[in-house]
Amino acid sequence: MAPQRLQQGTAMTRQGWCPARRDMLRLAVGLGLGLGASGRAQAQDPGARRARPQPDDRFVFAGGPRKNELLTLDDLPPGGPPAVTYPMDPLLKIVRDESRLNQVLLVRLDPRGLNSDTRARAAEGIVGYSAVCTHTGCDAWDWQPAAGVVKCPCHFSEFDLKNSAQVLNGPAPRRLPALPLKIVDRAPVVGGVFIGRPGFESGGG
């Protein structure tokens, strides 16, 4: 099979406005504006956007026509193709997209074909790995579904997603960092921290 390229009321008296009610309304409006500004500040917090995936984060598509839409189990058919995603804080709705090293590759494989370490981190056969190649940091992939392998088209490193993303071929110096997963409300969710450091030979962190 050929590889697939991923790529708010008012009150009045007979004489007019009630001063007390008017003051309360002004206060309420002021508080509402303040909370709105606070929410926007949180949503734009670069620290939260750069933070690595956190337990219970959800996943959103990293690009394409569904960019920033939540990903569900239905988006991950058995056998692939993989989805490139970013983690998102489920309460603040902050997408952690300030660093491309937060990109996560998700794919659903046959659980029977996973080695023991991979199976322990997977959820219903879905595995998660850093989507940045450990060689020079490319983040495009060719999918080889029959083998459960992704191949970096930049320098042809190959990683076996069934076996902890070990390097099969090419110049990549180490496997792709794995991300433990769990299932909540029919969606994959971050279950732990990266096992290994996302990044590549000339960068990371």
Mind listing the pLDDT tens digit for each residue in 48-70?
999 999 999 999 999 999 999 99
Residue pair 175/167 in contact by the 8 Å Cβ criterion: yes
DSSP strand pairing (149-151 vs 181-184)? unpaired
* H or E element, residue 87: strand 83-88
> Where is average pLDDT lowest: 32-36, 90-94, 97-101?
32-36
pTM: 0.78
Residue 33 has pLDDT above 70, yes or no: no
Give the Cα separation of 169 and 87 in Å (integer).
29
* Distance, CA of 109 to CA of 123 (rounded, Å): 10
Average pLDDT over residues 116-137: 97
- The encoded tokens of residue 105 equal 């590759």
138-153 pLDDT tens trace: 999 999 999 999 999 9
CA 115, CA 154: separation in Å to the nearest integer?
Answer: 27
Beta carbons within 8 Å of 165's beta carbon, 6+ residues apart: 129, 159, 175, 176, 177, 178
Residue 28: other Cβ atoms inside 10 A: 11
How far is Cα 201 from Cα 77, in angstroms, rounded to an integer? 33
For residue 31, the model assigns a pLDDT of 44
Task: Indicate the DSSP class of residue 54.
Answer: -
> Would you state the structure tokens that stand for residue 204, as one six-digit string?
């990371």
Q: What proportion of the chain, given as a percentage, has pLDDT over 90?
A: 75
How far is Cα 106 from Cα 70, in angstroms, rounded to an integer? 13
Instruction: Look up residue 118 and give its amino acid.
Output: T
User: If pLDDT is split at 50, 70 and 90, which confidence band does 34 have?
Assistant: very low
Q: Where do runs of H (alpha helix) occur along the chain?
A: 19-43, 46-50, 116-121
Average pLDDT over every residue of 106-118: 98
For residues 193-201, give the mean pLDDT: 93
Binned at pLDDT 50, 70 and 90, residue 47 comes out as very high
Integer CA distances (angstroms), 63 to 70, 98, 160, in order = 12, 14, 24
* Helices vs. strands in the chain: H and E counts, helices first: 3, 15
